[in-house]
């Protein structure tokens, strides 16, 4: 009986291994450039990004749901100046500012796979994203005069979520029927945050496993 059960289990695993369900999972790492700007303001930085996706292939189309960390923008500034106050006289003022903006996104993509060329399959698609931007900043000011030193600090944080759209393109290469290497580029309009437009540009590589 045990041998029959084991044989049935192995047969089931074998069937799943060769079955083409169309479902897949994918992991990506890459380079991401974030930019927030309006007519008088521009903030940008670049760094690493990563994401995971689950999807299904239907004919030449793929539909995927992804979570992506687009990275962060870091700002650090120091300023020294002299100010004259009525109560304390001349002060040497040192101001330290640190800010950070992180961007996360949940996206739904529709991707078209073109005909393979020498084993490489190019693709292009569109993405609808729900993008969350978190910001935090701190300011520390030191006032130094003959009467002593005074220090003031301020901390602020905010979080906003907006809907945006994007486009992606790339090429994939099948290592075997289940595993493929993917390389691509992307652009995402993140939305407008307090009147400031957010954009993301990126390049990524990843592995996709199909079931």
Distance between CA 35 and CA 197 in Å, rounded?
8
Q: What pLDDT score was predicted for residue 86?
A: 75
What is the per-residue pLDDT across 15-27, written as a single tens digit (0 to 9) for each? 444 457 899 999 9
Distance from chain centroid for Cα 98: 21
The answer to whether 163 touches 191, Cβ cutoff 8 Å, is yes
Could you list the residue range(s) of the whole structural domain that residue 44 is in?
A: 22-210
Instruction: Say if 137 falls within a structural domain.
Output: yes
Tokens of 117: 């060329």
Task: Flag whether 140 is in a domain.
Answer: yes
pTM above 0.85, yes or no: no
DSSP category for residue 204:
E
Residue 96: give its domain's CATH number.
2.40.160.20
Nearest to 136 by CA among 73, 201, 199, 197: 73
Residues in the chain: 211
Q: Is residue 2 part of a domain?
A: no
Tens-digit pLDDT profile for residues 158-169: 999 999 999 999
> How many domains does the chain contain in total?
1
Which stretches of the chain score pLDDT less than 70? 1-19
Q: Supply the pLDDT for residue 19.
A: 56
Rounded distance, CA 76 to CA 88, Å?
29
């Amino acid at each position: 009986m045990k041998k029959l059960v084991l044989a049935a289990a192995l047969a089931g695993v074998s069937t799943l291994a060769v079955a083409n369900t169309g479902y897949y999972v994918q992991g990506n790492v890459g380079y991401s450039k974030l930019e927030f700007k309006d007519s008088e303001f521009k903030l940008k930085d670049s760094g690493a990004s990563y994401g995971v996706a689950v999807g299904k292939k239907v004919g030449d189309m793929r539909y995927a749901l992804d979570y992506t960390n687009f990275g962060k923008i870091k700002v650090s500034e120091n300023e020294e100046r002299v100010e004259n106050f009525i109560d304390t006289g001349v002060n040497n003022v040192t101001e330290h500012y640190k800010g950070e903006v992180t961007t996360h996104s949940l996206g739904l993509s529709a991707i078209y796979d073109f005909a393979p060329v020498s084993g490489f399959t190019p693709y292009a698609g569109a993405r609808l994203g729900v993008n969350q931007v978190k910001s935090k900043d701190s300011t520390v000011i030191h006032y130094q005069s003959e009467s002593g030193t005074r220090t003031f600090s301020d901390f602020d944080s905010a979080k906003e979520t907006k809907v945006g759209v994007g486009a992606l393109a790339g090429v994939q290469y099948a290592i075997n029927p289940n595993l493929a290497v993917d390389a691509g580029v992307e652009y995402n309009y993140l939305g407008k945050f307090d009147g400031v437009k957010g954009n993301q540009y990126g390049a990524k590589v990843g592995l996709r496993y199909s079931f």
